[in-house]
Structure formats: structure tokens, C-alpha cells
Structure 1
Amino acid sequence: MKFPLLHLFVILSVSLPVSAFAELSLPHCFSDHMVLQRERAAQIWGQADAQAEVTVRFKDQSATTKADANGHWKTQIPTGAADAQGAELTVTSHGENVKVSDVLVGEVWLASGQSNMYFTMDRVPAYEALMAKANYPGLRMFNAPLVTAEKPQADIEGPWSLCSPETVPSYSAVAFFFALKLHQELGVPVGVIKTAWGGKPVETFTSREALNTLPGTKAMVDKLMEEAATYDPPQAQAAYEKRLEQWKATMAAAKGQPADDRKRLPKKPAAPKPPLLTEGKPGVLYNAMIHPFVGYTMRGAIWYQGEGNAKAGAVPYDQTLPLMIRDWRQRWKDEFSFYFVQLANYREPSTAPGTPDPWPLLQDRMRHILETTPKTGMAVINDVGEANDIHPKDKQTPGERLARWALAKDYRRDILHSSPLYRSSKVKDGAMQITFDHVGAGLKSRDGGPLKRFEIAGADRVWHWADASVKGKDQVVVSNPAVPQPVAVRYAWASNPEGANLINGEGLPASVFRTDDWNDVEVTATETGGRSNQEKRRILGAEIKALNAQSAKMDKTSPDFKATRKKIQEMLAEFKAMAPSKAK
């Protein structure tokens, strides 16, 4: 049977998938002003007609490949040495042509995490003069938008921008100072891909496939899938409208009241979202904000996150962050460098030794990651935090301390890159001798005074403030007459260890550490946000009981005893204030 030509075309059109006739295209990460990683075979990918031949040209290099049955194609093209002169990258296929202009060759890094990485330059008044002069055409950034996705996405919107007084206000401040340091030290273009979202835990930046390999995080995925299966949009909308009306009533009642008399007002409730599209849920931000960049050839990643995981009951961070690092590296098929910022000091300074607190616990688990995960580095910033703000304004210090790791490890600069890190300990003559790595010219006190914030305990596990002094270049001797047979030492073990002053020859502050593995660090009343009042009261009661037990073993005339009893009285007052009202 013979078919007219038009009929034959219709039959073929119906039988072939839509992707068979895909328009030649590149994802947004390959766009004008981008930076390609130097001295590598940079991966380039996109869409074309199914089975079509695709050619990529850049400078004097070219590479030809063939799209698969779905129109997906990927190839590699050598980039050569760093080049600050913008060049054109072209992609051709079946007569179609895509051009990318002003492409530089230099160093490429991914910057991710939560609010302290997202924190933009324009939020710091002290940076205004610097921003006014920030004309660095060789420093560029891709700002990924805040989006969520149920499944891994192939693309995400967002342009590359040249650093200028007009664009730099929206740059991640930490990423900017990191990139600027590299740009100035190396003399080559630097590109940063920023994928950060405030208030989000590490699990949302990790793929669900990876999360399913760890029991603690698999339970999170299982719970999410259960929520998704039972999600009822009309019911969720009705519940939201009820919460919204309650919020409006609360705000109306507070209107006109003196500020000092007003209770802390609740936030306006958020509109309902399907669980698989809710930011912060396991894998959601990986799908939308990480997966589109998987394969983009780069030197490494920088990371500032952890606040969202510093809480009682969280899966240990020295399990979840390495899981994410392995996940990313496996997907990139590259053991790239990964440098992270240790949490800064935060909240009111503690006055009693041995106070349970998940903040230094997470900081110390970050330190352990250095020992277990290769090609990682940690910027210690326990000296730049703010008691009343979880977002320290000083973003230059963490950015430049991250750059130290990159300069030393990736670019072979002969500089001291790390803060002092605990190496080992031993008991000698009634004292603990602590040995450190990364001391440079030698350990010392930042202010020239005695070393502070060292705690010491014996077998009874009662903590005391300790005397501490530097011995030689790399040791600190820690003691207290009340502990003649010490078994454990901690340093800077508090959310805000005010006075901690141990530094190395370069002025880098020593990391928090502990020599014990006791479990008295797990619970705190300061990290019970989101729990019921009854649960908060139960945890606070457990803290009071633990401190009472400690104080019973203390010398009643010692400063430690007085400080602990004062803390207990404060906590008792809070405990009583949380008691449920009696029915009249």
C-alpha cells in the first residue's frame, strides 16, 4: 500500500517520542560569562535531536558526539591554561547553532550550605566601601535560585554574572571573599556556583538514594514517602486557613500593646506544600539545586552549614556530612576537594564547666570528619561569632580561612592552612599533656594572658575549670589540684566559649576538642525548639538533675561550685515558669 508523503510524515511524527525532535540547547550553567575549569577536559552536555551528531568548539579545540535516543548528549573539551580573555563556545547540530559568549578559563568552585553561605554582601554595612570598588571582571558567580523539586532536575535557571559594584551586593559574602583571595593570589579567573538556602539541614542537600544507605537517614526518607502518600491537599489547605485565622487573631490582640508587654509574636503560617516539594525535606534541594550541576568540571566545593543539624536527637553529623560528600563525589565521578566552615561561637557565654550542649558536639564531629574523609579541610571561626546572632557579620574571616586550605592543598602554596587540631593526650605528673598539629611557629595565647576554657575531669566525670600552659611548640599542659588523677580534657566546650584564646603562630584559633567519649554532651534545653512545652520541661529537668549530681561532688568553696549552683537556680526558675497552669 502506498501512502501520500504527508500521511507518512504524520505516522512518523506520532510514533517518535517528542525528544526525537528536541531543540539544540544547553542548561543554564553553560551560559554567557561562565568560567571553565582550567587544565581539565571540561564536561559539556545538553539536548538535541535523538541520535543527532553534536559538535562542541572552544578556541582551537573541538569534540563531536552523538545524542542518545532521548536527545541527551555529553562530551568533553580540553580547556588548556587559565585565560582571562573571553572566548566563544559553540555547539552545532543538524544546522542549529548555540553560542556562549565571554567564556573564561580559570578555577571553578561550588559554594553550598545554609544561611551563613547564602548571607549576601549587602547585609554588612562595613562592606559598602569594598563593594563600591568591586570591579573584578575575572571573578564571576552563578546564583542558583531557591527552588524545590520532587525528582532530580536537568537544569536550573540563573545567569553567570561578572563581579561589579552592581552585582556584588547579591553575592554570597563567604564565597566572594574565598574567590577574591584565590583570584588575587593565583592571578587567574575564578568562578563560583552558589547553591545555598537558609535554615536547611544537610539531609536535604543529599540524594535520597544516598540517604537510604544510612539507617538514621533512611528513616527520614521513609517518613517523607509516607507523608507524601497520605498528603491530602484540601485537608492541608483547611488546616492552613485555620492556622492563618488564629495568627490573625493573635496579631490583632497584640496591636497597640507596649512593646515590653508583648510576648514574642508567632510567624505567619506558610501556605501548604506537597511534602516532596517542601524545602528542607530529605533530598528535595539536592534534586532542584545540586543535581543540575552534577558533572560541571570544578576544582572543589566549600560548605557552610550545620546550624540546622545542631540539635538533640539528630543523626550524628560525622555520619551525615561525609555521606553527602561521598554522594556528590560519586555523582561527579571526581574526588574533588571539600572544605567546610566549623560553626561559630553563638549564644550567651556559659559560666559552668561540663554543661551539656549539642553545639560543640557538632563542632567536634566536624573535626572528626577531617580524620575520616579524605581531601577535606575545616575553617575554625570560634573567634568571630556573635552571642545574639547566629549569622556573624564577619564573613571575610571564614572566606579567607577556607581559601587558605585551597591555596595550600590545591595550589601548593607554602602556608599554614589549618587551625591547631588535637592530636593526642597523655597523663603525666597529675596533669594531662595535650599535643596539637598545625602549630606553625608555636602555640600561644592570643592576648598574652593565661590559657582559658580548658576543662578537666577525673574518673568521677565531674568537670572543673583547669589551669593550662604551653609547653614547647606543640603541647599544652592541663591540670587542677582538685583532679589529681585526670582522665579527660575538653577545650572550648560551649556554644560560646568566651575567652578561649589558644592560637597557632599564624593567629588561627584552636578547634574545640574533647579527649573523652562520654555521652553527657547529647542533651540540652537550648536546642529544644519545635518540641512541646512538656518535652522541653522534661529535658530541662534532666539537665538540672545532672548538674545537681555534679555539684554534689564539688568542693563547696570552689568557684566552680558557686557557678554551677547559680546556673541551677536559673534553670529552676525557667523550669517552674514552664509548668502548666492549674485549672481554676
Structure 2
Amino acid sequence: MNGFNACDYQFFILCTTTLLYVVSVGTVLLRTNGDAGTFAADHTFRLANYFQDRMVLEADIPGSVLWGYGKPGAEVEIELLGDILLTGINDEGLWKQSLWAGIPTGPWDIDVYQSERGNYTGHVVLRDVYFGDVFLCVGEANMAFPVAKMFNASEELAASSEFPLIRLMRISPDSSFSALPEPRILQNWTIATPDSLKDFSALCWATGRRVSEDIRSRFGQKAPIGLIGAYRDAASPIRGWIPPNSIGHCTGTMQQPGTDSVLWNAMIAPIKTLRFTSVIWYQGESDAALDADTYGCLFKAMVEGWRGNFFREFFGIVQLGTRNSEDVPGATAQIRWEQTAEYGQVPNEALILVFMASAMDLADPESPFGSELPRYKEEIAQRLLAGIVSVLYYRHIPFQGPFPKRIQLGPDNASLCIEYDQQINFTPNAASNFEICCDTPIFRTDNWKDCRIWHNTTSRPSLSAGNTIVVSTPCAGNASASFVQYAWAVTPCGYKNCQVYATDYLGDPKGLPGPPFVLPTNWTRDDYNLV
């Protein structure tokens, strides 16, 4: 897989928009007569194409939904666990039926019949179906990065046989001007094996495996986990993933006709009837090369738009990772900030029921696939697990790295104290991760984006408090420090070598990394509504 730099992303948007979407339209027209289908014009009785043998359906409230096609006016009977559910087929040849929540894990066969005047005229059966947790993994190149290329790939592939209840499906990375009734399936539901797993998302798999292991360790039994991959290994700006009419007031310098919602239409809208435990989202690399200023508005619009279409509201994100260089200085760091709606942490009042894993300290500069595609996916999965366990499964374990709760500029203007919300593990580096913006009486900065120069500075842990860092201010003369930023670089540090970490996390002595931030030099956490 070749890496994508900013020029690739600009080229993708500015130079090939017409070609991309001409191809997309052709794909949609081909689907009309292919296995992805549109409405069944001949009224063939069948389920939607992603209901297949060996799948995992969501077990939790409100219960999963089955739907499909058939003869208008006929009835549908669904037989499961000795019970029969009845529904009708409407005038368009569509039917839909909700299952009840809390169905035991399985495996089960689900028989679905079409009935006309007491006679069965159609029958399909789903075999080896389990009920459990289902994760939808979405994003661009880092989410698409396959198991076969990650660190410890051979061990992961060899261990796949130990997880027969983790089932995989992948949606084809298509685009469409309008919402499709069904997606094109690139990989049918399958049991994880070295062959079926090698090209599947490394991050999605590593996260699902850890969830399975966590459930097994707590309950002593293997847990069904469904992993659905809906990602592209090419540049995929966020506008393409947002449902129609959800972008609203978000504007930006890089708007392009025909790009909005095309990925949502082809890859997400067709499966929105499925129930998901959570979305796992890793995207933003292409937007860092395009328009970082608008990303926060677009990301919030996307989350709200998806929640308007899915019942489940949980949303896990990976805060953007590293690369050796960037064409737009500061854009990657700003995307990381915008991914939190400029709060620095999630969940918050703007992004409720969202959890996050940071990837800013997992640099892989020698990656043969490009520095923007680091092979460290197990570490991200482990950090996502903390959010899943705490936010989804209501076990109160730490899932956020240290974040300031108070910043105070000293009376001598020579230093400022940053008090964190937890004990910290401070790593002294040759180059500090902290930078200061200095104001003068002539040039005052009310917004961090207007700061002309950020000054590197030194930092040290407080001698009297285990959760406080003292940062020197390099402002000279009548200048004073107005803003402080931390880890505000495309690659702020080497592998797990940033300055601020939690003291412990699930056996990792390094702990979770403190996320990047940019804040005023006199600030308290009370100014934010973190939930």
C-alpha cells in the first residue's frame, strides 16, 4: 500500500473529482443489475444481501432488525427459538421485522418464510447466526491498514483460530450520488482465519479481539463479536461520510461539488438498519491536507447525522496519528484538537458518549508503507478497549490520559503551573513538548490561532505535587505569556516518548498519553463542560 501525502489528497479532490464520480455512477448502475441489487423488480423473496450465514447480530436493546424483499401483499414468518414473528410485505415489495432484545448468544438458525393464503411460496434460512456485540469500523487509510502489514502480524494471524466467534464482513469501498438500498459486499460474513483476516483492518480486528478477551476474562466464556469494515484505503475527506442535509452551516475553503455524502450513500446508508454496539472511527489524514479549520464542525455534524440514522449513540474515535512531515504546518495537530470539538478530551457537552484513543505518540518513521501508516495498531486497540469498557460496559476504569484542570501564570511571568486531573508520569525529553505564545502591549492575542510565534520552552515536574508541571515562559521584557500548547506537532515525540502520561494503565507502566491541547495561561477546567 502506498502512502498518501498532501499532494495526493489535493490531487484527489481538485484534479480527479469528475473522474472519481463518473466511475462511481458507473458502479451504481452496474449494481442495479448485480448482486448488490436495488428493489427486487421480480419480487424474489429474499433477505437484504448482508444478512448471511455465520453473521453476528446485535443482542442488546432494542433488538436487531431483519428486512428483505418479496411479493407485495404476502406475509412473512420468521421462526427463531421456537417463536414465530409475523409481518407483511408492502406495495413496494419490502418487509421489515424487529427481533427481541436479549436473545441468547447461539448459534441459531433463523428460518424466514413467505406465505400466501396459507401456502409457503418462499423460504430462506440463516445458519450459524450468533447474537452479541457488533462494531462498525469506518475511516480511511489507517483504518484500512491490513492485519498482514501490522507489527506482530504473524502472531495475530496464527491466533485467529482461538476466536471462532469473531465474525468479519467488509463493505466495498464505493461511492454514490444517492443512497443505495443495499451495499456491495466485498467480503461476506466469515469466521476469522489467517486467510480471511490477512486483508481485513488491523485496528478493527485488534480491537474486536481485545473486547472478546476482556469478556472472556470476566465471564469465563467466549463472546460473539461482529466486525463490519466500511473503509477506504484511499483519501476520503470527511464530507463524503456525512449524511445529506447534515453538513448545515459548516463551510470551508475546499468545498467541491459532488463530494458531499457520496461515501455515506454507498457504504453506510445501506446498512443503517443494522444495530451496532459502537462505531470505531479513524479518519482525518486527508482533511489535514485540505481544510483543518472546518473539521471540527464537520465531525460534529457527522456524529449527529449518524445518530439520527442509527439507534446506538456510542462513537469511538482515534485521534490522528503521526507522519514524518506535513505540507500544511500545524494542520495535523489542529485536526486532533478539532476531533474533540476543541475541548481536548471526550466525552464533552458537544460530543456526548464519545470515547477516544490517542495515536500521536506511536510514530513509525521507518514504516515501509509510509510514515503516515504506522504499524502500531495493537497499541491503539488497547487504548480503545479502555473507552469501550468504561463508556459502553459501564466499568469505571481510566480511559483518558491526563488533562489540565488548572493553568496559572506565576506573578513574575517567568513560569506557569499546569495542574493535571490525575497523577502523571513525566518523561524528560531533550526537546520539550510545551510551547508558549508571548503577547506584547502592541500585539495582543485573543485567539490562539492568531499567535505569530510559538516559543519552545523547558518544563519539569513540580517538586511538591505529583500532578503538576512547571513550564518556563520565554517572554522577555514587557511581553507576557498568553497561551500554552502541548504536543502541537505532526509528530510530537518518538514511540511512547511524549512528556505526559498517566501513571498506570491496564498493566502498561507508561500509561495513557496526555492529549494535545492549546489553552490560555490563566484557565480552569470549570471553563469547560466535560462529561
Q: TM-score, normalised by structure 2?
A: 0.76
What is the one-letter code of the residue matched to 1:511? P
Counterpart contact for 1:452–1:468, Cα < 8 Å: yes
Counterpart contact for 1:37–1:107, Cα < 8 Å: yes
1:172 aligned residue (185, 190, 201): 201
Structure 1 residue 20, shift from structure 2 partner: 7.8
Number of aligned residue pairs: 432
Counterpart contact for 1:450–1:469, Cα < 8 Å: no
What is the one-letter code of the residue matched to 2:180? Q
1:478 aligned residue (471, 482, 485): 471
Structure 1 residue 317, shift from structure 2 partner: 1.3
Structure 1 residue 464, shift from structure 2 partner: 2.0
Structure 1 residue 209, shift from structure 2 partner: 2.4
TM-superposition CA deviations, 1:187-228 (whole Å, max 9, x none): 3111011100121111111123223x234179946x33xxxx
Equivalent residue runs for 1:346-385 within 5 Å: 346-348=323-325, 356-368=329-341, 370=346, 371=348, 372-385=350-363
1:455 aligned residue (429, 435, 448): 435
Query: What is the SS of the residue equivalent to 1:210?
Result: coil
Rounded Cα–Cα distance in structure 2 between residues aligned with 1:73 and 1:421? 50
Rounded Cα–Cα distance in structure 1 between residues aligned with 2:309 and 2:50? 17
Structure 1 residue 362, shift from structure 2 partner: 0.9
What is the one-letter code of the residue matched to 1:357? G
Partner of 1:341: 318
Rounded Cα–Cα distance in structure 2 between residues aligned with 1:49 and 1:349? 56
TM-superposition CA deviations, 1:93-125 (whole Å, max 9, x none): 121111011001111110000011011111236
Query: What is the SS of the residue equivalent to 1:166?
Result: helix
Rounded Cα–Cα distance in structure 1 between residues aligned with 2:132 and 2:381? 19
Structure 1 residue 457, shift from structure 2 partner: 2.4
Structure-2 change in CA distance of 1:68 and 1:81 (3 Å): closer
What is the one-letter code of the residue matched to 1:180? R
Query: What is the SS of the residue equivalent to 1:444?
Result: strand
Rounded Cα–Cα distance in structure 1 between residues aligned with 2:341 and 2:468? 20
Partner of 2:173: 146
TM-superposition CA deviations, 1:514-550 (whole Å, max 9, x none): 1159xxxxxxxxxxxxxxxxxxxxxxxxxxxxxxxxx
Rounded Cα–Cα distance in structure 2 between residues aligned with 1:349 and 1:313? 13
Query: What is the SS of the residue equivalent to 1:487?
Result: strand
What is the one-letter code of the residue matched to 2:488? W
Of 499-508 and 335-344, the range deviating more from structure 2: 499-508
Structure-2 change in CA distance of 1:139 and 1:482 (3 Å): same
Rounded Cα–Cα distance in structure 1 between residues aligned with 2:363 and 2:475? 32
1:290 aligned residue (264, 268, 284): 268
Partner of 2:426: 445
Rounded Cα–Cα distance in structure 2 between residues aligned with 1:108 and 1:393? 25
2:213 aligned residue (184, 202, 224): 184
Structure 1 residue 60, shift from structure 2 partner: 3.7
Counterpart contact for 1:344–1:385, Cα < 8 Å: yes
Structure 1 residue 436, shift from structure 2 partner: 3.2
Structure 1 residue 37, shift from structure 2 partner: 1.2
More RCO (CA 8 Å, sep 6+): 2
TM-superposition CA deviations, 1:327-353 (whole Å, max 9, x none): 111012x24200100111221599xxx
TM-superposition CA deviations, 1:549-572 (whole Å, max 9, x none): xxxxxxxxxxxxxxxxxxxxxxxx
Structure 1 residue 79, shift from structure 2 partner: 4.3
Rounded Cα–Cα distance in structure 1 between residues aligned with 2:138 and 2:473? 43
TM-superposition CA deviations, 1:310-339 (whole Å, max 9, x none): 03545521111111111111012x242001
Pair 1:487 & 2:482 matched: yes
Query: What is the SS of the residue equivalent to 2:137?
Result: strand
Q: TM-score, normalised by structure 1?
A: 0.69
Structure-2 change in CA distance of 1:219 and 1:164 (3 Å): closer
Rounded Cα–Cα distance in structure 1 between residues aligned with 2:164 and 2:490? 40
Structure-2 change in CA distance of 1:219 and 1:513 (3 Å): closer
Partner of 2:507: none
Q: Share of identical aligned residues, percent?
A: 22
Tell me which protein shows more helix as a share of its residues: 1
Rounded Cα–Cα distance in structure 1 between residues aligned with 2:254 and 2:318? 27
Counterpart contact for 1:19–1:50, Cα < 8 Å: no
Rounded Cα–Cα distance in structure 2 between residues aligned with 1:82 and 1:417? 29
Rounded Cα–Cα distance in structure 1 between residues aligned with 2:292 and 2:407? 29
Counterpart contact for 1:20–1:50, Cα < 8 Å: no
For structure 1, the 5+ residue unaligned runs are 1-17, 225-280, 518-584
For structure 2, the 5+ residue unaligned runs are 1-38, 217-222, 441-450, 505-510, 522-531
1:156 aligned residue (151, 164, 183): 183
Structure-2 change in CA distance of 1:219 and 1:48 (3 Å): farther
Counterpart contact for 1:294–1:331, Cα < 8 Å: yes
Partner of 1:560: none
Counterpart contact for 2:276–2:312, Cα < 8 Å: no
Partner of 1:137: 164
Equivalent residue runs for 1:371-410 within 5 Å: 371=348, 372-387=350-365, 389-410=371-392
Counterpart contact for 1:21–1:50, Cα < 8 Å: no
Structure 1 residue 473, shift from structure 2 partner: 4.0
Structure-2 change in CA distance of 1:20 and 1:304 (3 Å): closer
What is the one-letter code of the residue matched to 1:75? Q
What is the one-letter code of the residue matched to 1:343? L
Structure-2 change in CA distance of 1:157 and 1:20 (3 Å): closer
Partner of 1:228: none
Structure-2 change in CA distance of 1:428 and 1:312 (3 Å): farther
Structure 1 residue 380, shift from structure 2 partner: 0.7
1:414 aligned residue (381, 396, 415): 396
Structure 1 residue 72, shift from structure 2 partner: 1.5
Query: What is the SS of the residue equivalent to 2:460?
Result: strand
Rounded Cα–Cα distance in structure 1 between residues aligned with 2:172 and 2:40? 26
Structure-2 change in CA distance of 1:407 and 1:497 (3 Å): same
